[in-house]
Structure 1
């Protein structure tokens, strides 16, 4: 379905795809515009609202990025089901954050206590809910510098632990709520801490991707 918006669009192209950034006009309510676009837009696209009111529309992930992300989400989901303390959300989920943004990660974990504190009706849409843990996975179309800015945004909004995974260079940046700068980690697996204590992510399928 076509969406008509009274805003000034700005296209930002990358080598393998593109992002469409919609900058609302001065008299436009960014949150209302975002919700209107989300209601009518192609669900294959990923939509986010940043803290400046810009609406960012991202093309679907490529095959290899999708495979890698599935490997991460699958391991996290299996552990969460066995652990029982919280639930896992995939890359299609958007969270309303304290700074007014609505962001999505490639995977997120939220404790049952935090979920229970949100009205059931609100959980059907974009809930005002800050994950305790998130994962961002760099794809071929992502700018790593932009992902680092996004990780700081997650931390500023209260995310306790975040992993920014760079599959091509095979390292993880670990972001913690009480630390300004991330820790670089290299290895074949990475252990969770804090809210994710007890979880270990096998990074080998993420590093190899679709190599046969």
Structure 2
């Protein structure tokens, strides 16, 4: 089994359309597949049980808050989004304001939505390298609509916070992380993540 992403480079003459990429992902549901802006495909195996549990805890907390708040919808790690660069990404957890979500057609909502979430979370697996995930977070940050992102490094107990137009902030071993003004009242309990 793969322990880190397998990167497949596609010749320019063989690049897939968004529809073809969506179909590739549908017939390979056991794999986490993303495509960067140059068309390279990253294939990641399912996460280990411990990381999967921690990711589920994050999604649970975000979903509970989103249900209570009612101003947007939350998504799991199996949700794909097409960014303006053409990259197709699947954050470990994400949230979007309903007013932005409702601008999409029903067909766009059923496939990989051509929009960047307002809020994304990436949770590092033990086999992940920090640099590629930091680059992915910077990619999200450069997108219209993006407001807040957290990169969680469980190994070093750090949370990197990404906001548009601001330097990246790093919290060391926080007990909680707040959603600020973007997700008012959302506080992630890190004891469920560490």
TM-score, length-normalised on structure 1?
0.86
Query: In the alignment, which residue of structure 1 is the partner of 2:152?
Result: 165
Query: In the alignment, which residue of structure 2 is the partner of 1:128?
Result: 114
Contact 1:188 1:202 (8 Å CA) reproduced: yes
Instruction: Write the distance in 2 (CA, Å) between the matches of 1:122 and 1:88.
Output: 16
- Report the secondary structure of 1:108's partner residue: strand
Choose which of 79, 94, 97 in structure 2 pairs with 1:108: 94
Q: 5+ unaligned residues in a row in structure 1: which ranges?
A: 1-12, 208-212
Instruction: Write the distance in 2 (CA, Å) between the matches of 1:26 and 1:130.
Output: 25
Q: Deviations over 1:107-132 (max 9, x none)?
A: 00011101100001211111112100
- Name the Cα RMSD after superposition: 1.5
Structure 1 runs of 4+ aligned residues shifted over 6 Å read: none
Q: Deviations over 1:132-164 (max 9, x none)?
A: 000000101111111101100110123210000
Per the TM alignment, residue 194 of structure 1 is displaced from its structure 2 partner at its CA by: 2.7
Query: In the alignment, which residue of structure 2 is the partner of 1:5?
Result: none
Q: 5+ unaligned residues in a row in structure 2: which ranges?
A: none
Instruction: Write the distance in 1 (CA, Å) between the matches of 2:23 and 2:66.
Output: 33
- Report the secondary structure of 2:5's partner residue: strand
Describe how 1:9-158 pairs up with structure 2 within 5 A.
Answer: 17-31=3-17, 33-41=20-28, 43-158=29-144
Q: Which has the larger radius of gyration?
A: 1
Instruction: Write the distance in 1 (CA, Å) between the matches of 2:125 and 2:110.
Output: 28
- Report the secondary structure of 1:163's partner residue: strand
* 2:165 paired with 1:178: yes
Contact 2:22 2:111 (8 Å CA) reproduced: no
Report how many aligned residue pairs link the two structures: 191
